[in-house]
Chains A and B, each alone.
Chain A
Amino acid sequence: MPHHPGAMETRKANMSTVQQETFDIIAKQAKIDIATIKPESTLKDLGIASLDAIEVLFDLEEHFNINLPNEDTDFDNGTVGQLVEAIERQIALKGAEG
């Protein structure tokens, strides 16, 4: 596969934007300092449980205008990094269908 540095750079920039926006939304909903959120944190680690976690997912769905399947939203063991990946997958799917 030919190396295509331009596309790679764009993808990286998008990733960091999605991650940044996801962290912003989590920090706002959970009322925590954004600096405490790491990609390896689980929502549970961040003290976001039960309905608060479901609200975070709803805020993310509204913000990115996507649907996050239940399979991608394991509150206890899933990390924030995995959540960002799931969001990116759904954004890509939307783009492909769009």
Chain B
Amino acid sequence: MKKLLIAIIVFVNCSPIQAQQEFTKQLTDARTAYTGGKLDDSRFAMQQMLLELDIITGKEVLKLLPVKMLDQSQNAAADNVSGTSGFMGVVIHRDYGVDAKMINLEIISNTPLLTSINALLSLPLLGNTGDMKVVKVSGYKALIQKSGSSDKPEFELQLPINSSLVTLRAPGYTRDQIIQMANTLPLSQIAKTLQ
């Protein structure tokens, strides 16, 4: 257990350094290729720079997230920043608790694929029909969707911030509880870090 904790601490602290070194390397490559007229190589290096930036930013966001969500503690080993920068965005993942009471928090950063949810939020008639409800969390509009059976409903909250999307899934909890959880997220700071 002690070894695992040490490994996690080393990983969390070292990977940003690696990402920073990678960013600097790609920056040099982009400059060299551009000066040499190799425009596509320069562009490729810049794409890698964006990816490194998204990973570093993701790690910064993880540091901002609460270590507890209601009665559940975070699973530090499950913290993850993955995906491809650019069109699909990078996924920042943290979960809390175990089994049936597991709470999943995912933030997809810098993705242009947010138009559908923004449409739902801007049209109250659409966003407040059936199993969907628009609510406010720390001043931000969010969409809560209900799924599962009527006796055992599951709730999911989606909250767009600029070109990023925060998704909170909490099966086994009520709608009010998921709003309560979302309210513990430092959304302004997350928005500032991801801008």
Are A and B part of the same complex? no
